[in-house]
Amino acid sequence: MTRRWFWPSFALPGAGWLILLFLIPTYAVVAVAFGTFDPIFSTPVPIWNPLHWQFASMRSVLSGLEPGHAFWIVFVRTVGYVAISLAGCLLIGYPVAYYLARHARRTKGLLLVLLIVPFWVSYLMRMLAWVGLLLPDGLVNRTLMDVGVISAPRAWLAGQASSVVLALVYGYVPYLILPLYATLDRIDRSVLEAGRDLGGSPIRTFLHVTLPLSRHGILAASVLIALPMFGDYYTNDIISNSPRTSMIGNQINLFFQGGSEQAVGASLVIVLSLFLAVLMSYYLWITVRASAETKESLL
């Protein structure tokens, strides 16, 4: 009996952590979303018993999510920004990860350290550094004007969607490269050699062997960065802070800052979480299917 519980007991700290810092807080958000507010201070009053939940805030959010309404506009914009940023991260990150896994030999250690270096500086500080670079008389404008790309300084920080996407790509690309590198590095070299032996050119081998084998890595890395991007508000706040580029995270932050509408903020969190849960389910389904296929091929 003792032996039976010995190894599973190792999962207890993790399980406790999850219950304490994930399940209970998540339920607290739900209780706030379906709760009421203090009549004097307007602070949220969570309702813990589902039988007493109130749905006015959620109804308000759902009506705002109808096409053309405020939350719909923000939601579509957020999906667009995240999709473009994700594509940008993949375009930059995949070649870097591929080079690290396949071609960097002596320099591999150094390059990996360089990839980790950004983590030594807080995300916020790195974003603030971009503010200096993107100022009207900042380095970016001066360089672009010097090489003749633009004739007058561009107002990068004045509510430009391109600046927000650029900042998102810059901020999240290191988080994509590392897991992608791990996947590419694990691909058996003999499989690649087989591709070559069968007459495949380097490009054909890449397209028909490396890329399919790294598909799950791409998916995992994409999920890893897309999830926080969807909830990101501070990148936008620092780089733009214009209603024109407002993302769903900005709206949630707006409601959570105070006032009597914090339940609306909590309802938005639930809607966003459900949307992300759908994306996660797809990822899990792909992973489970791949695992089953691997087992079948081994048998």
Partner 1 sequence: MHPRERPTSRRQFLIRAGVVVGTLTGADALLSACGGSAKVAATTTGTGETGVLMGPGGIPLARRDHPVTLPLYSDNAAIDSGLNLEKGPLNLFNWSAYINPAVVRKFEREHNVKVSITTFENEEEAIAKLTGGNAANFDVWWGTVDYISRAVAGKLIQPLNHSYLPNLRNVWPSLQSPYYDQHSRYTVPYTVYTTGIGWRTDKLKKAPPDYANPYDIFWDAHPYAGKVAILDDQREALGMTLLRRHIYDINTENPTLINRAEKDLAELTSLVNVKVNVNDYTDIPSGATWISQAWSGDMAGAWNYLPKGVKPTVLGYWSPAEHAETQNDMMTILRGAKHPVLAHTFLNFMLDNQNGLENLSWNGYMPPLTACDPNTVISKGYIPKNLASTVIRESDFKKGVTIDALTTKGQSLWENAWSTFKAG
Report which of 153, 124, 140 is spatially closest to residue 238, judged by C-alpha positions: 124
**How many residues make up the chain in this entry?**
299
Q: In sequence order, what are the beta bridge partners of 72?
A: none
234 scored as a contact of partner 1 (CB under 8 A): yes
State which residue, 42 or 291, has the beta carbon closest to partner 1: 42
State which residue, 102 or 142, has the beta carbon closest to partner 1: 142
- The Cβ of residue 59 has, within 10 Å, a number of other Cβ atoms equal to 11
Both tokens of 1, joined, read: 């009996």
Among 15, 19, 43, 201, binds partner 1 (CB under 8 A): 43
237 scored as a contact of partner 1 (CB under 8 A): yes
Q: How far is the CB of 293 from partner 1 (least distance, A)?
A: 38
Amino acid, single-letter form, for residue 72: W
Q: How far apart, in whole angstroms, are the C-alpha atoms of residue 25 and residue 35? A: 15
Footprint of partner 1 on residues 64-123 (CB under 8 A)? 70-71, 73-74, 77, 122
28 scored as a contact of partner 1 (CB under 8 A): yes
289 scored as a contact of partner 1 (CB under 8 A): no
Both tokens of 167, joined, read: 């900042």
Question: What burial class does residue 219 get, using C-beta atoms within 10 Å of its C-beta: 0-12 exposed, 13-18 middle, 19+ buried?
Answer: middle
Both tokens of 107, joined, read: 């320099």
136 scored as a contact of partner 1 (CB under 8 A): yes
Report which of 70, 102, 292, 125 is spatially closest to residue 211, judged by C-alpha positions: 102
Q: How far apart, in whole angstroms, are the C-alpha atoms of residue 239 and residue 109? A: 33
Footprint of partner 1 on residues 157-186 (CB under 8 A)? 157-159
201 scored as a contact of partner 1 (CB under 8 A): no
273 scored as a contact of partner 1 (CB under 8 A): no
The shares of helix, strand and coil residues in the chain, as percent rounded to the nearest 5, are: 75, 0, 20
249 scored as a contact of partner 1 (CB under 8 A): no
Tell me the residue ranges of DSSP E strands in 20-74. Answer: 36-37, 44-45
Both tokens of 131, joined, read: 């503010």
Among 85, 222, 246, 267, binds partner 1 (CB under 8 A): 246
26 scored as a contact of partner 1 (CB under 8 A): yes
Q: How far is the CB of 64 from partner 1 (least distance, A)?
A: 8
Both tokens of 253, joined, read: 């932050």
Among 108-116, 142-150, 155-163, 220-228, the segment contacting partner 1 (CB under 8 A): 155-163
228 scored as a contact of partner 1 (CB under 8 A): no
Helix (H) or strand (E) segment spanning residue 238: helix 234-239
State which residue, 123 or 283, has the beta carbon closest to partner 1: 123
145 scored as a contact of partner 1 (CB under 8 A): no
251 scored as a contact of partner 1 (CB under 8 A): yes
Report the interface residues with partner 1, using CB under 8 A: 20-21, 24-26, 28-29, 31-32, 37-46, 70-71, 73-74, 77, 122, 124-125, 128, 135-136, 155, 157-159, 234, 237-238, 241-246, 250-251, 253-261, 264
